[in-house]
Amino acid sequence: MSGLLVIMGSGETAPTMVKPHREIFRRCGDRPAVLLDTPYGFQENADDISAKAVKYFADSTGRALSVVSWRSTPAAGLPLERALSGLREAGWLFAGPGSPTYALRQWSETPFPGVLAEVLAADGVVCFASAAALTLGSHTIPVYEIYKAGSDPHWVPGLDLFHQVTGLPAVLIPHYDNAEGGHHDTRFCYLGERRLARLEPLLPPEAFIIGIDEHTAGLFDLGARTVTVVGNGGLTLRRGGRSQRWPAGTTLPFSVFTGLPEADSTPDAPAAVREPPPPTSLAASTQAATGRFDACLAARDQDGCVAAALELEQALQDWIADTDVSDEREQARAALRGMLVRLGSLAGPDRFGPLVTALVALRKEARTAKNWALSDSLRDVLADAGVTIRDTPTGPSWSER
């Protein structure tokens, strides 16, 4: 086995993971890149999720993706063989957000796990993130059923592909450092310590947990038998309630997972000095841009205000493909509206123009992508700032009221 198995904790279509994606694509050369839509196949907006992912990879990595649709288990015969053939041709195979238990119902008791092993045996890349990553271990957390529907904590059988290709009997947990809960514990893919502590003793004695932080990936090189941690966070080995964590920039042999970590063990930091990580959410980008805008407005720095507003506009564009931003887009739009209104009292038309032009261009892209919610929101932002947009056969134009 010589391929590369990539496990991403989250951020698979976020700007934070563009650099890792580019490096991973270099591994597989110009071989076909395939997106698998199973984990979110039950959602009414599945077509939109696929389209956003395809656009994200085209814009950020220059790679064209084909979509193999496996939203439900294909019927035996030609439909199943056609889907399997599309997967076998992949040099890079990706699956991401959605429901892990839904995906398992479509993949279990089919040739699908064997095809993943074939791609890896042919020196290909299998990149599974978020919900899809949960399915690869010996056991899987039914996230929605526990966190959303209140089921008692329990495991469901996973594909156990990770054990097959690495020899490591692991359970994979993405979103390991999640902090969305604020005052309540949502680490460990929304389980929190209390529920994970109940679940862990139910695993077989030889099993252990590998946790992948958000906006982070573990690159498991099956030929070299090493894992490299990339992104913003770290990778954690947990066994019997004790944990050891390695930060991004670390490369480890598979053999490190066979030892029991000390209760208070702390790995050495990587020797290389790394650049500060970029913001890991649209909310963080909004907060940073708003802080810069406020400082520049207080100093009556018109150029600085425009630059901060343009920075937020760019963040909206960068995060447009991400499926995991909840209400953060509306918060960012509200912040941008506030900037424009406040900027109008400070800046003249010659200062205001570049920002309006950028927003009009972003609205045009949203309309082309049929993202009507974003298009309408940008129109309202500009209207609040006293700008009228006219859609003409040759494109949009704008004027101040």
- pLDDT averaged per 10 residues in sequence order, the chain, 401 residues: 92 93 91 96 95 94 96 94 95 96 96 96 96 97 92 96 96 94 90 95 95 97 96 95 95 85 41 49 81 82 82 77 66 82 64 76 84 82 81 80 64
What's the pLDDT score for residue 379?
Answer: 83
What's the pLDDT score for residue 264?
Answer: 40
Distance, in Å, from the CA atom of 363 to the CA atom of 137, rounded to the nearest integer, reads: 42
What's the pLDDT score for residue 78?
Answer: 94
Q: What is the CATH number of domain 4-258?
A: 3.40.50.880
Which one, of 175, 192, 235, lies nearest residue 210 by Cα? 235
What's the pLDDT score for residue 265?
Answer: 42
What's the pLDDT score for residue 55?
Answer: 94
Where in 197-336 does DSSP place strands (E)? 208-212, 216-221, 226-231, 234-239, 242-247, 251-253
What's the pLDDT score for residue 221?
Answer: 97
Which one, of 244, 220, 246, 243, lies nearest residue 233 by Cα? 246
How does 78-103 read in b/e, with b if 16+ C-beta sit within 10 Å? eebeebbebbebbbbbbbbbbbbbbb
What's the pLDDT score for residue 278?
Answer: 58
